[in-house]
Amino acid sequence: MIQNTMFNNGVVQPLQMQTSAKVDSTPSESLRQFGSYLEDALQSVSAQEQNSHIMSDKLMLGQVNVDQAMISAQQALLSVQLTTQVRNKVVEAYQEIMRTQI
């Protein structure tokens, strides 16, 4: 993943998959791990949105440059768009499973 360290203020951390996954975990544990991963991802998107709002406020006060505020806004926009697309795919998969005849 490419990271820009020039404007890194430590607010948002990239998500990383854990490579040491248990092979013999129960479905309940897997569901809990997946739920916590989704929760972390949504919190990251929320943090990017909050960072974007903070940067736009600082832009109005003249504390940051326009490019910093625009980068923050675009990162938040892309995160929201990605989250929306993932949600759409999950809903589509669920609908496809519900249409499956047994």
- pLDDT-derived band at 27 (thresholds 50, 70, 90) equals confident
Q: Which residue has the tokens 């998500």?
A: 15
| 16 vs 87: CA distance, rounded Å | 19
Q: Name the residue among 43, 75, 83 with its Cα closest to residue 56.
A: 75
What pLDDT score was predicted for residue 80? Answer: 95
pLDDT in tens, 10-20: 555 555 656 55
**What is the domain partition of the chain in residue ranges?**
28-99
What pLDDT score was predicted for residue 11? Answer: 54
The answer to whether residues 75 and 47 touch, using CB atoms and an 8 Å cutoff, is no
| 65 vs 56: CA distance, rounded Å | 10
Q: What is the pTM of this model?
A: 0.67
Q: Mean pLDDT throughout 70-93?
A: 95
Q: Mean pLDDT throughout 48-67?
A: 95
Residue 1 has pLDDT above 90, yes or no: no
